Structure 1
Amino acid sequence: MTMPKGSNTPVPTTVLRLETTRRAGPGTPATEIAALLLTSGRIRSDADHLTRDHPAHPSGAVRHEETRREDGLATDVFTVDLTRVEDAVERIVLAATADGGTFGQVPGLGVRVTGPDGETVAHYDNTGASVETALVLGELYRRQGGWKFRAVGQGYGSGLEGLAQEYGVTARREVRRPEPVTPEPRQPATGLGRPEPQLPYVASESTAQPAKITLTKAAPAVSLAKQGATSGALRVNLNWRMRATRWTKGPARDLDLDLCALYELTDGRKGVVQALGNAFGTLHRPPYIHLDGDDRTGASADGENLTVNLDHAADFRRILVFVTIYEGATSFAGLNATVTLRPQHGAPVDFSLDECAVPSTVCALALLTNEGGDLVVRREARYLVPERGMSPQRTVDRAYGWGMNWTPGRK
């Protein structure tokens, strides 16, 4: 029998198997399952944050064993050896995040805890989820010298940011391995390319792909409203391929670019969304802009991504999307970069960055301005050269008259 939300039950202090299962298929958000080892309510480092891309804890007590998909179900399996859990660890939280929608669109989500003989010692089916994009499903916790499992079933509408605020989880960008899938009949090949990153909103019912819009020097601007992009999510992607130049400092994998956004809201508030200072932003409250994560090595196939909540388009006065070189090079020369703005509704907009011939460490990519309630995207592709002692952020601020105060930061 499934446990009611908020209830708890004793579990044996032995090796336990935690299986998290949910329905998976077209239109269902991709789900990431994580185990968090908590000391005084927080993780101590990224080593305490386990996923299928970071599967093993240094203590050997917790491990992500597999992700499998069969009969329309996706299952993540963790093993927890409670006899090996460090004394400092008080709780082991099982959490989930949704990419491409909310947990109200993830049916059949549940957790089963089994012992060494395969007997079920705890079982919880999560029901009643709606707008949450991050959920704490359950937790193992110490009690009077033993262990218990609690069915939690509480979530956050801010996704990974909610887990970050609650448990200190780093908003790192996972280099995701493809999930195993049930073989399907092969379709005729239509071209080559990477899978498109998922949007954090429900996908449009229409499967037809609108024609792509390419911004050029001759035609540098486009109205989002005229293209049908008046609501939902706008994903801004930066991708690059690096070749060696006299301004590079090492291998391409050592290049760390940061995708950022300066914003000004109609109520006068201003700020920046960037990895530096962990200013990742929020989607469902001001500034309505969120940076997915910080790709510090360039190893991620998806590059870096910003998401803008177009349901709040009327709250924006202007947004400047820009990119800085954090380390690995002293100029954008040799950086073959492509910027793509992919709205949930309407045509994708893309442009390439022209070859850089100056020692620039900051490039203004695109400027979105509110013109009579309509957001207009203008291609900037403007390389800026900071003055001696001036940061890239302050340089782009001065060029566009944002008027903010800047202090040194780190990530």
Structure 2
Amino acid sequence: MSKGANTPVPTAALRVELGWRSGPGVPDADASALLLLGGKVRSDADFVFYNQPSHSSGAVRHEGKRDAGGRVTDGLLVDLARVEPAVDTVIVAASSDGGSFGQVPGLYIEVRDAAAGTVVARFDNPGATVETAFVLGEFYRRQGAWKFRAVGQGYGTGLEGLATDYGITVDEPQAPAAPQAPPAPQAAARPAFPPAAPPAAPPRPAAAPAAPPAAPPVSLSKVTLTKAAPSVSLTKQGGTSGALRVNLNWEVRKQFSGWGRKLGRSVAMHNDLDLDLCCLYELTDGSKGVVQALGNAFGALHQPPFIHLDGDDRTGAVSAGENLTVNLDHLRSFRRILVFVTIYEGARSFADLHATVTLQPQHGAPVDFSLDECTVPSTVCALALITNTGDDLVVQREARYLVPDRGVSPQRTVDRAYGWGMNWTPGRK
């Protein structure tokens, strides 16, 4: 499509993919969406992006990044059948992090039918130069049907400027007010006559009912862990209380790669792919254990170990996926937590799987990272190590693929690698 062109799209679930080529000096980019009525959002809840990954209607969902051989994509799922009647436009936007879009090669947006996988629209590089945010396209209603238009409108003020333009209230750090000098003291004048009695105070009117508290502004802050910057302090981010949610989502790559390709055979992939998000924990009282679906060891949020796995998912979607929740209101009870993932069934290794991990504190910026491409026959990957030093709560990106010895379980393999020292027995789910 060329800029300004439009095309009909099916009123169905569509996968919108923002893509580009990675490389040295290439900024990161993030996809987002805004649901509009008359050119503006109805509230901040109509903004879907990395810190607010799904709309309450279920019509739009941020699916996260994928990195396959230097081609990076960030995806949105837009289900037009679920868009509320009051919404007339769904804007699809992109923002850059660490540079301008002129430094992002091979930029495109592609719309696919989520069920059939067919391409229904594609808009390549909108002529970016110094822009740090773009409205790439929009879905809009026309005579009871939906169309997609290639827009290509750039902003030099990043995601903040774009969001504000559509009515989003953005959380901005406020500069402290300059202190005011106290007034100079003045000598009290002596009255020539006795002071008159003060007039009677008028009756106080009844207090008006308190207005409901305003919704907090949207925070655009985020933390991405990389090999160069693999750790972050949650204490410095303000994320040391409330619930910390750890989400794992994944996809199966269609091409074969990694160790399977090197050995001249494809890695077995099945529709019943089942990855399990797990964690080893060690508490300050010396107790140790595991939270996982295997053996129904789902943990507990309000009693030890203060960690809970919400279920056993097989879709890998961001809105579902596998989720661990850590109750940071009991921070003093934790010594260390190792989050890891195992392949329960459906694949022989991580070689053709791609996973993204997001740690979302209730307070503070989300922390996310992608796993590197797997080149060994691994069925278990250590994701992140959370350590309480007493003065600090630190998240360390591990992204470490492990290869179990013959007859050794993935859980025991992780235990040995990190010196947990637990006794293991066979389990099932």
TM-score by length of 1: 0.51
Q: 1:221 maps to what in 2?
A: 231
The Cα of 1:354 is off from its aligned counterpart by: 0.3
Q: 1:277 maps to what in 2?
A: 295
1-side partners of 2:425 and 2:215: how far apart?
45
Are 1:393 and 2:295 matched, yes or no?
no
Letter in 1 for 2:240: T
1:116-265 paired onto structure 2 within 5 Å: 183-186=85-88, 189-191=91-93, 206-243=216-253, 244-245=255-256, 246=260, 248-251=267-270, 253-265=271-283
Q: 1:337 maps to what in 2?
A: 355
The Cα of 1:186 is off from its aligned counterpart by: 4.3
1-side partners of 2:288 and 2:220: how far apart?
33
The Cα of 1:27 is off from its aligned counterpart by: 12
CA contact (8 A) 1:216 1:351 kept: yes
Q: 2:342 maps to what in 1?
A: 324
CA contact (8 A) 1:255 1:298 kept: no
Structure 1 counterpart SS, 2:329: helix
Identify which of 306, 309, 319 aligns with 1:288. Answer: 306
CA contact (8 A) 2:313 2:320 kept: no
Q: 1:91 maps to what in 2?
A: none
Q: 1:232 to 1:187 in 2, by over 3 A?
A: farther
Q: 1:255 to 1:248 in 2, by over 3 A?
A: farther
Q: 1:278 to 1:185 in 2, by over 3 A?
A: same
- Structure 1 residue runs of 5 or longer lacking an equivalent are 1-25, 29-68, 70-176, 194-203
Q: 1:140 maps to what in 2?
A: none
Q: 1:404 maps to what in 2?
A: 422
* Cα deviation digits, residues 287-307 of structure 1 (max 9, x gap): 111111001454785321111
2-side partners of 1:190 and 1:281: how far apart?
39
The Cα of 1:372 is off from its aligned counterpart by: 2.1
Identical residues among aligned pairs (%):
72
Q: 1:284 to 1:186 in 2, by over 3 A?
A: farther
Q: 1:144 maps to what in 2?
A: none
Q: 1:72 maps to what in 2?
A: none
2-side partners of 1:261 and 1:332: how far apart?
18
Q: 1:184 to 1:310 in 2, by over 3 A?
A: farther
2-side partners of 1:178 and 1:310: how far apart?
38
2-side partners of 1:179 and 1:306: how far apart?
31
* Cα deviation digits, residues 88-118 of structure 1 (max 9, x gap): xxxxxxxxxxxxxxxxxxxxxxxxxxxxxxx
1-side partners of 2:382 and 2:225: how far apart?
15
Are 1:357 and 2:381 matched, yes or no?
no
- Structure 2 residue runs of 5 or longer lacking an equivalent are 1-42, 46-56, 58-78, 95-110, 112-213, 261-265
Structure 2 counterpart SS, 1:328: strand
Q: 1:297 to 1:206 in 2, by over 3 A?
A: closer
2-side partners of 1:239 and 1:351: how far apart?
11
Q: Alignment length, in residue pairs?
A: 230
2-side partners of 1:27 and 1:278: how far apart?
38
CA contact (8 A) 1:254 1:298 kept: no
Q: 2:397 maps to what in 1?
A: 379
1-side partners of 2:81 and 2:44: how far apart?
16
1-side partners of 2:300 and 2:366: how far apart?
23
CA contact (8 A) 1:210 1:348 kept: no
2-side partners of 1:400 and 1:256: how far apart?
24
Q: 2:17 maps to what in 1?
A: none
TM-score by length of 2: 0.49
Letter in 2 for 1:183: P
Q: 1:280 to 1:178 in 2, by over 3 A?
A: farther
Structure 2 counterpart SS, 1:351: strand
Structure 2 counterpart SS, 1:354: coil
Letter in 1 for 2:364: G
Q: 1:321 to 1:283 in 2, by over 3 A?
A: same
CA contact (8 A) 1:230 1:345 kept: yes
CA contact (8 A) 2:245 2:324 kept: yes
The Cα of 1:184 is off from its aligned counterpart by: 3.0
Are 1:369 and 2:387 matched, yes or no?
yes
Q: 1:297 to 1:214 in 2, by over 3 A?
A: closer
CA contact (8 A) 1:320 1:366 kept: yes
CA contact (8 A) 2:242 2:328 kept: yes
* Cα deviation digits, residues 11-53 of structure 1 (max 9, x gap): xxxxxxxxxxxxxxx999xxxxxxxxxxxxxxxxxxxxxxxxx
Structure 1 counterpart SS, 2:85: coil
Letter in 1 for 2:234: L
Structure 2 counterpart SS, 1:340: strand
Specify the structure having the higher radius of gyration (Cα).
2
CA contact (8 A) 1:277 1:409 kept: yes
Are 1:302 and 2:320 matched, yes or no?
yes
CA contact (8 A) 1:314 1:373 kept: no
Letter in 2 for 1:189: I
Are 1:267 and 2:285 matched, yes or no?
yes
2-side partners of 1:297 and 1:337: how far apart?
12
Structure 1 counterpart SS, 2:91: coil
